[in-house]
Structure 1
Amino acid sequence: MIIVSFVSFVLLWFHYFTLLCQFILEGVKTMTYEESLTYLANLTKFGINLGLARIEKLLELMDHPERKFKTIHIAGTNGKGSTTAMLASILRASGINTGMYTSPHLSAYTERMIVNGKEITPDQFGEAIAYTSRFMDKIVAQGLGHPTEFEVLTAAAFYYFAACGVEYAVIEVGLGGLLDSTNVIMPEISVITNVTLDHTDKCGNTVREIAHHKSGIIKKNVPVITGAQGEALDVIKNISQKSAAICYVYREDFSATFLEMEGECQRIMVAVGTERKAVPFLVNLLGGHQVDNCAVAVMTAMVLGKNEKRIDLSAIEKGLLTVRWPGRFEVMPGRPTVIIDGAHNPDGMRALRENLDRFCKGKNIVFLLGILQDKDVKTMVMTLIRSQDKVVVVAPMSERAGKPEIVAREIKAEHVEVASSIEEGVKRAKLLAGEDDILCVAGSLYLIGAVRKIICS
């Protein structure tokens, strides 16, 4: 395994050197990392503009880097990031050169593009953005409008993965699925983790409408793995059938149950197939919700393994044991214990509360909370907060941040206060929490990344 890792490292830097030579020969102006961040910040004015015309033209001009490796496409309301991380870890453990594309990031843009477990370097990131940016004028000239930040990032990720010579890339959908910028790939497998209400302003006001959007990633004759239930599952099954795509369904074709804690991991039993032969796995991610995500990841790996013989049971075991996915019921030991979780919608808050009740039974809980203004704030706080809890509310680091005063009004708890900044919020929450209490940070990925950086530093 050491030899495989060394070879992967050498190949990665060979492709990086080739990329640099290409820039020099073509006379392409590069960007520093700081310049690329400024460039991306200027793209936020184009907002979220769903549609595939711009990204399709951009990738055509870039000679279709997304066609130079195989992909697994992952959509879902919750759990798609964790499932993406599990699958990338399994592929890597199989000795496969693996890319992983996720969003948003917690602390730095480089987190979004990972090859063989290593983030893209700041210099490589700047160069990938610089190369992608050279095609903007041509797209605008064709009347398609300017590509958005996410479209540029997605194209840059595909370009970077192709330059690194990855064999597979696990691609997380940004928003929805049907019109998402990532929906230009022809994957080996399409995965829909689950479907609940979220992003109703973009994907529809009902579970059925949202399920239709997420089912947009289903392709003809491409297997589908889903953890969805109820009416969302009806939509997914219907679209899969119309696409002649075999659909593997959680609790019908495969299932999972929590067995026990073992150190800082949880042992999960996964049963697959008509005979439901059960296999136990140690998973390096905490939380009851990870049982469902683990089942979906294992089923996806097993279906992929039918043709990709490097994926076997030992690789799945190793991948799940070594997976890392920061900010998802992440426990940071200390006094008080800090738990950081990316829950940012009602269903995510429900899962978080269940995990707190399960793993932190009898502990007092202080929340540091920040929620975006386009979320269902009332339902979220009612689901998460209990009357005996203490809460400090702050604004996440986003232009869509909900005003802390408005969020605080919806909270019915023993103690609720508003802090003027995230730094101040961390200080206040630590003061409110006793040494044996739990400080839980939640509400938005745009909050937990900033808090994690403060705590880690």
Structure 2
Amino acid sequence: MNYAESLLYLDELNTFGIRLGLARMEELCARLGHPERSYTTIHIAGTNGKGSVTQMLDAVHRAAGIRCGRYLSPHLVSYTERMSVDGHEIGEEAFAALLTRVRAAADAMTAEGHEHPTQFEALTALAFLYFAEEGVETAVIETGLGGLLDSTNIIEPVLTIITNVAMDHADRCGGTLLGIAEHKAGIIKEGVPVITAAAGEPLAVIERRAEELGADVFVCGEDFFAALQHAPEGGQQVAFHSLVCRESEPYALALAGGYQAENAALAIMAAKLLEREDARVTETAIRTGLRTVRHPARFEVLVRDGLPIVVDGAHNPAGMQALRAGLDAYFPVLPRVFLLGILKDKDIDAMLAALLRPGDRVVTVRPSSERAAGADVVAAVAAAMGLDTLACGDPAGALAEAAARARSDGALLVAAGSLYLVGGIRTMLGAGR
């Protein structure tokens, strides 16, 4: 297949939907020679923040001179964004060639009576194969959905990170907060250290599972701590304290948003544990990684023709709450115009309740996804809150309308609600990857 044909094939795989379970993935990777076993891995799950932590640890490894693969999802614009080696995304030609091999293995599976792999399983197998072909030493792997039955959970990592646990994907992960915690705790492996920022009952679930498997647990807020500070030279930095590591000076952090302090703490704690096994993971590498890391559409601040814009992939109530806190901290006095697009399987009411306040103006649009909620559905919720709301038919028109309203009000424009929306918005705004 060429790249265009590979995209058509991936679209065809959408017919299989989301089917949790590891049997198909194990069979597929076995037929590919188990590429996931040819390098060490770090496995990252959580409701929010796992993508940022994945990017931070990838950046730390690269700064340490360790050949590192990175796998995350979903993408903003192109499937090739999901996997990289040494900070470089896979090329379209290599993507198509490897997917051709994955397809051949999948076809052989079905010919012998096995279930056909899903789209996410095919992509994950492609990433595993890519990392093996490129000879990476370590791969930082983000889960797609949950953890226990997620396609990535066939790996045997050297370190497990569970960022936090909040309500999201409840329909597929047990229906309750404790059910979600059980799914995320499902990535814990025997004797493999666990780092987490979970709290309350979810933390109890994680600790119980870790104890059953003889895995040490390091808890943010108990074993290590982080506080966001304004750096003297501008920007922000994170003060990190740990009960098991020596005290260090604050770390400069490239990613904006108050919630990134906790994510950085998880990454720093992870690096401190990795440092014990690999002398290349030095304090200098940690600092360089955090200072240079990029993660588009996570409280990303842009300015276009004098208009300040925040692009954020917040897509659940906890993410919206964190976004609102960031807006209040960084732009406390500016009025806000929100450009929102949300998936229909999300808790739209709770998301808007966490994000919006009296006086906010809202423009809605349908994201580019089969799972998307209609612009009128989201607009109705915002209008019921008494807000000035407009539903638009296409993203380009919605962006133009939201920008016009923001300019007329001297307001901040905020695009959020789904990565399926903000990826396209970034492209329209001319933001690079």
TM range (shorter): over 0.9
Within a 5 Å distance, the mapping from 1:212-361 to structure 2 comes to 212-261=182-231, 265-274=235-244, 277-334=247-304, 335-361=306-332
Give the whole-Å Cα distance in 1 for the aligned partners of 2:171 and 2:391.
27
Listed as ranges, the matches of 1:18-417 within 5 Å are 31-261=1-231, 265-274=235-244, 277-334=247-304, 335-411=306-382, 412-417=385-390
Retained in 2: the 8 A contact 1:176–1:210? yes
Give the deviation of 1:275 after TM superposition: 7.0
What TM-score, normalized to structure 1?
A: 0.92
- Name the residue aligned to 1:446: 420
Q: Partners in 1 of 2:311 and 2:267 — Cα distance?
A: 23
Contact 1:194 1:229 in 2 (8 A): yes
In structure 2, distance between residues paired with 1:177 and 1:418: 35
In the superposition, relative to structure 1, how do residues 164 and 391 fare at CA in structure 2: closer, same or farther (>3 Å)?
same
3-state SS of 2:429 partner: helix
Tell me, yes or no, if the aligned pair for 1:301 and 1:316 is still in contact at 8 Å. Answer: yes
Asked if 1 retains the 8 angstrom alpha-carbon contact of 2:245 and 2:272, the reply is no
Return 5+ residue gaps in structure 2 as ranges: none
Which residue identity is paired with 1:415?
Answer: D
Q: Which amino acid aligns with 1:421?
A: D
* 8 A contact 1:191–1:226 mirrored in 2: yes
Q: 2:175 aligns to what SS in structure 1? A: coil
Q: Match for 1:386: what amino acid?
A: R
Aligned match of 1:16: none
- C-alpha deviation, 1:144, in angstroms: 2.7
Deviation sequence 1:118-163 (CA, Å, 0-9, x none)? 0101111111111111111221134331100000000000000000
Q: Per the alignment, do residues 121 and 347 of structure 1 end up closer, same or farther by CA in structure 2, a change over 3 Å counting?
A: same
Determine the C-alpha separation between the residues in 2 that align with 1:291 and 1:409.
35
Amino acid at match of 2:284: S
Q: Secondary structure at the match of 2:151?
A: coil
Output the CA distance in 2 between the equivalents of 1:137 and 1:354.
Answer: 48
* Amino acid corresponding to residue 165 of structure 1 in structure 2: G
Q: Which of residues 406, 417, 427 in structure 2 aligns to 1:433?
A: 406
Aligned counterpart, 1:12: none
How many Å separate the matches in 2 of 1:33 and 1:264? 43
| 2:170–2:177 CA contact under 8 A, matched in 1 | no
- Give yes or no for contact 1:364–1:437 (8 Å, CA) kept in 2: yes
CA 1:402–1:135 in 2, change beyond 3 Å: closer, same or farther? same
Instruction: Return the alpha-carbon distance in structure 1 between the equivalents of residues 289 and 248 of structure 2.
Output: 18
Aligned length: 427
The Cα shift of 1:279 comes to 3.1
Q: Which residue of 2 aligns with 1:21?
A: none
- 1:7-22 alignment runs, 5 A limit: none
- The aligned amino acid for 2:372 is A
Q: What corresponds to 1:5 in structure 2? A: none
Structure 2 CA distance, aligned partners of 1:398 and 1:262? 43
CA distance in 2, matches of 1:223, 1:207: 23
**Cα shift at 1:443:** 0.3
Question: 2:361, 2:233 → 1: CA distance?
Answer: 29
Quote the offset at 1:76 in angstroms. Answer: 0.1
- Kept after mapping to 2: 8 A contact 1:223/1:246: yes
| Mapped partners of 1:273, 1:100: distance in 2 | 29
Q: Is the 8 A contact 1:284 1:321 kept in 2?
A: yes
Range 392-401 or range 327-336, more displaced: 327-336
Residue 250 of structure 2 aligns to a residue in which SS? strand
Per-residue deviation, residues 383-409 of structure 1 (Å, max 9, x unmatched): 101110110000011000001111111
Please state whether the residue corresponding to 2:153 is helix, strand or coil.
coil
**Is there any run of 5+ residues in structure 1 with no aligned partner, and where?**
1-30
RMSD: 1.2
Farther-moved stretch of structure 1 (409-418 vs 399-408): 409-418
* Cross-structure match for 2:396: 423
Letter matched to residue 374 of structure 1: D
Q: Does the 8 Å CA contact 1:97/1:168 hold for their aligned counterparts?
A: yes
The letter for the 1-side match of 2:86 is N
Give the superposition deviation at 1:262. Answer: 5.4
Q: Which amino acid aligns with 2:152?
A: T
